[in-house]
Chain A
């Protein structure tokens, strides 16, 4: 798929992915999920719970090699992954958690991220001393500090209160604007997808395939209620 020269895009082409349940039954999870993200593009994957979104991200991140198809990641291959759970090292401080995942980032850069995400006063705390929302923010900071070529986020704002989720969403938009990075975001919140993404991929229930694609043309800074409403209408039309 890649043209001459270095791979810049993210090319995903998964024909088939299944799990063997403990009972021995075969569970088909992904079926023909094919898409491409251009450099710096933000894609959102929206789909019902349990349809295979996390499975898809794990394949893209190279954590699961047992599938039928091909995934080409942007050259450089540096990855930032915000897991569905924070996955912090409980025995290392907030700062060390970020530094260990991003040894190339300077303390100054990390502190800048902390300031942006409201983590400055928690710099020296251990993860066990953080609330769930704070832990998620650390996981976000870690992903950004790694200066990734591909940023993958698995429902990063789920189960946060609406105000905090909105705040972090705008922080994420600001971070992506500051330093464009190819980003893939999983969510089941359409508003979140519209607020952040350039393109939205709609997944069917399991086995997941892409049932439609909606582009959001308005720049990320200027997505008012009108844009959101329009996108919702487009999405509803696709899902019909």
Chain B
């Protein structure tokens, strides 16, 4: 923990020094950015935009995780499903995020639905691939044990299968959350009237680096909080049975 703080302090120190060289227009000092954050917060605009972005991130994330994980499990368990869905997955995996977003806006209009769907569609293949790995790695021996003792399906799912998938789910969630919020920003920049992406777009037109950094860091802080208070405790919970060194 101490090492982390030192590393973080070093980051801000470097930023501060860099700001002296680059000048306030190109790179404002950390304190200036902080002051901008506070100001935006006081006017209420910050929470409005953070809230809009966070809502999109969470909706798209949940959507992508549910559909992506279900698809991944199906593909990992059924060979036929894997054969059928794999080409689609490869296409989706390699289609640039921008293409999906632009097409979604063209086909469905500049709507909230199009925005969220485009983001979810970008995240979905990652979740699918990760959970497919997890489903393939399921322990045959434990499966046989469950079969021999005639464990009912819900018991098997909860006590035999889910704990094995936990780490894969956590990995998909972690990489997913950071990916989703980056894509949400692009979606907002291109076709939404609010949100962090929209604000950054406006600031870009005004060449307002302070504002860009203020919104970016405010949202990074939100994501950091989610990581620390939701994702990490979940991960600790699902791996609590692992033997630890004294």
Contacts and interface: CB of A to CB of B under 8 A. Distances in A.
Interface in B125-154: 141-142, 144-145, 147-151
Contact of B147 (A63, A90, A102): A63
A92 B149 contact: no
A142 B148 CA distance: 12
B109 interface: no
A128 B141 contact: no
A85 B141 contact: yes
Closest 3 CB pairs of A and B: A101-B149, A91-B163, A128-B243
Interface in B46-89: none
Nearest to B242: A128
A52 B243 CA distance: 35
B35 interface: no
Given A91-B163, A92-B159, A83 B241 contact: no
A125 B141 CA distance: 21
Contact of B241 (A87, A103, A128): A128
Interface in A58-78: 61-63, 78
A175 interface: no
A154 to B, nearest CB: 11
B141 A78 contact: no
Interface of B is mostly: helix
Contacts of B241: 90-92, 126, 128
Interface residues of A, number: 23
A86 to B, nearest CB: 9
Contact of A83 (B141, B151, B238, B242): B141
A128 B148 CA distance: 22
Interface of B: 141-142, 144-145, 147-151, 155, 159-160, 163, 238, 241-243
A89 interface: yes
> Which of B145, B151, B163, B243 is packed against the most chain A CB atoms within 10 Å?
B145
A149 B145 CA distance: 17
A89 B141 CA distance: 10
Contacts of B148: 61-63, 79, 81
B163 A126 contact: no
> Which of A91, A96, A102, A103 is packed against the most chain B CB atoms within 10 Å?
A91
Contact of B144 (A63, A90, A101): A63
6 contacts: A87-B141, A87-B144, A91-B163, A100-B155, A126-B241, A142-B149
A91 B238 CA distance: 8
B243 A100 contact: no
A89 B147 contact: no
A126 B243 contact: yes
B151 A100 contact: yes
Contacts of B160: 89
A83 B140 CA distance: 13
Interface in A91-107: 91-92, 96, 100-103
Nearest to B147: A63
Contacts of B242: 90, 128
Nearest to B141: A87
A186 interface: no
